[in-house]
Amino acid sequence: MQNFHEVIIVGAGPVGLWLACELRLAGVDVLVLERRTERSRQSRALTIHGRSIELFALRGLEKRFLDAGRPIPSGHFGVLDTRLDFSTFDSRFPFTLYLPQSDTEAQLEERAIELGARVVRGESVTEIEEQDGQVLVSTEGAVHACAFLVGADGARSIVRESAGIPFSGAPARHTMMLADVVLANPPARSVLSTVNENGCAMVAPLGDGQHHRIVLVDPLRSHVTRTEPVTLEEVTQSARRILGSDFGARDPIWMSRFADETRLADSYRRGRILLAGDAAHIHAPAGGQGMNVGLQDAMNLGWKLAMVVRGHAPASLLDSYGEERRPVGEGLYKNTLAQVALMTEFNPATLALREALNGLLQIPAVNHRLAAELSGFGIRYGRMDTDVVGADHPKAGTSVGDVDLVLDDGSETTLYQLMQDGRWLDLSLQPGTRAARPHWLREENVATISAHAKSAALPADLPMGLPVAMTIRPDGYLYAAA
């Protein structure tokens, strides 16, 4: 059929674009369909977590984002006063990066097009049908066919609905307000958060030197439907009640109302149709996790789908996508609902609970555990192959840090620099040693490197000592070690 593509992605937000980048890096023919005629200019998701920056670093792209964003060394859980400390993680990026989603999308679309992805805007998908070993995707102007279809088309995903995948969860109970405004008298603290008997509020700079974001949970306004426009007067009145000041808020560039609806797809795959990002999971924007979990969905799916499409891996490899990523979605579902409970009730009992949790978060181990969950640094996947020697290493399934290395010819590099082409890495740090690989992995899909660690100090993320040999997946997770 004319209009055939190996993979079609519906949705050109950050998740769909990052998936397109990964597929094109592997040489897969990709078409991205987007109903919007132009990129969103709204700031939307502001937070890029450290693990997501590591994903960009694995492809040599981190500088594009670091140069444009503003690093923040801590995060929050349910707007508790005790902040989550990201500095304890053994990463080159132990922080969150404040960067408007519009900038993130621009960077990712530029990269996808550089790699040869075709991004078509103004194409609304109207019908999807799987037949004869392919998927037919109808838009208002054409019919496209593909070997696999990925829905990255958000909370109201037509791809998910067409595949008949249930979207189970909790309906919305509260609405909240968001406003990106100029503040005539910004607060002294760079990030201000308050929860009291009058409500919950956060104020943070957008990073452009002019605007701040105000997020408000006002119990007097939480019954207002999500579709009702927010007014500046409504924002300033709520801010004065909760914060004691509106800081001279004026000149809004974006105001919105969002809800705490929380849902998770029952499956991330049905046949040749897969889901990623908000098409698979939605929640209240608590802890800045949504876009980041979606980017990590795309990174996990990208190399697997590419290898299956190219015939370089068994089709069963795609089963591991849902097996690995849906538990992450379950964790996201639970922790965002827990945060909503802390952010939307202002009675004495809940305020007392908040105080108790503030104390618990001062315990380093407790703080580290929640910080690991929200940042993505704590993700651990199960063994892909139970019969492979070395796949039961204590750190198998966890992300590998960016270690400084010296190659056999004396040149210096880093582990992440060796993975920028998207292949597996077979790294030997001791002559004559190699870690196991999947039995189906072809030589052409592996970079085989011998080197030694530049420093005698071992990375903290491998407390058993740096293995003498490692096989590392294209997404930076340890497959096996020797």
Residue 388: which pLDDT band, with cuts at 50, 70 and 90?
Answer: confident
Neighbours of 370 (CB within 10 A): 22
Q: Residue 458: is its pLDDT beyond 70?
A: no
| Dihedral (Cα; 53, 54, 57, 58), 10-degree rounding | -140
Closest CA to 108 of 305, 373, 299: 299
Task: Answer whether residue 389 is part of any domain.
Answer: no
pLDDT in tens, 286-337: 999 999 999 999 999 999 999 999 999 999 999 999 999 999 999 999 999 9
Q: Name beta bridge partners: 201.
A: 194, 216
Q: Residue 32: is its pLDDT beyond 90?
A: yes
Q: Give the domain range for residue 44.
A: 4-171+262-375
Mean pLDDT to the nearest integer, 29-38: 96
Q: Are residues 36 and 147 in the same domain?
A: yes
- Cα distance between residue 23 and residue 117, in whole Å: 9
Mean pLDDT to the nearest integer, 390-413: 92
pLDDT mean across residues, the chain: 94
Residue 192: which pLDDT band, with cuts at 50, 70 and 90?
Answer: very high
| 3-class SS shares of the chain: helix, strand, coil, % to 5 | 30, 30, 40
CB 269 within 8 A of CB 445: no
Residue 390: what pLDDT?
77
Q: Are residues 320 and 271 in the same domain?
A: yes
Q: Residue 174: is its pLDDT beyond 80?
A: yes
Looking at residue 358, the DSSP 8-state letter turns out to be: H
- Cα distance between residue 254 and residue 70, in whole Å: 20
Amino acid in the structure at residue 58: L
Task: Give the contacts of 378 (CB within 8 A, at least 6 positions apart).
Answer: 369, 372
Task: Answer whether residue 392 is part of any domain.
Answer: no
Q: Which two tokens stand for residue 24?
A: 């094109």
Residue 255: which pLDDT band, with cuts at 50, 70 and 90?
Answer: very high
What percentage of the chain has pLDDT greater than the value 70?
97
Q: Are residues 243 and 102 in the same domain?
A: no
Task: Answer whether residue 63 is part of any domain.
Answer: yes
- Cα distance between residue 105 and residue 101, in whole Å: 6
Number of domains in the chain: 3
Any idea what the Cα angle at residue 270 is, between residues 142 and 158, rounded to 5°? 45
Residue 142: what pLDDT?
93
Choosing from 259, 290, 314, the residue where a domain stops is: 259
Residue 151: what pLDDT?
98
Task: Answer whether residue 291 is part of any domain.
Answer: yes
Q: Are residues 165 and 280 in the same domain?
A: yes
Residue 465: what pLDDT?
58
pLDDT higher at 202 or 462: 202
Amino acid in the structure at residue 460: A
Residue 459: what pLDDT?
47
Task: Answer whether residue 454 is part of any domain.
Answer: yes
φ and ψ at 183, to 5 degrees? -110, 120
pLDDT in tens, 128-172: 999 999 999 999 889 999 999 999 999 999 999 999 999 999 999
pLDDT in tens, 341-386: 999 999 999 999 999 999 999 999 999 999 999 999 999 999 888 7
Mean pLDDT to the nearest integer, 82-92: 96
Q: Are residues 201 and 286 in the same domain?
A: no
pLDDT in tens, 45-80: 999 999 999 999 999 999 999 999 999 999 999 999
What percentage of the chain has pLDDT greater than the value 90?
89
Q: Residue 478: is its pLDDT beyond 50?
A: yes
Neighbours of 255 (CB within 10 A): 18
Q: Are residues 201 and 139 in the same domain?
A: no
- Cα distance between residue 7 and residue 10, in whole Å: 10
- Alpha-carbon distances of 188 from 193, 202, 203, 243, 247, rounded to whole Å: 12, 13, 11, 13, 11
Q: Are residues 423 and 329 in the same domain?
A: no
Any idea what the Cα angle at residue 18 is, between residues 12 and 19, rounded to 5°? 90
Residue 2: what pLDDT?
61
What CATH number is given to the structural domain containing 418? 3.40.30.120
Q: Are residues 86 and 235 in the same domain?
A: no
Amino acid in the structure at residue 73: P
- Cα distance between residue 13 and residue 435, in whole Å: 37
What CATH number is given to the structural domain containing 250? 3.30.70.2450
User: Residue 352: which H helix or E strand, with range?
Assistant: helix 348-360
- Cα distance between residue 300 and residue 303, in whole Å: 7
Task: Answer whether residue 399 is part of any domain.
Answer: no
- Alpha-carbon distances of 38 from 34, 35, 153, rounded to whole Å: 9, 9, 15
Residue 391: what pLDDT?
83
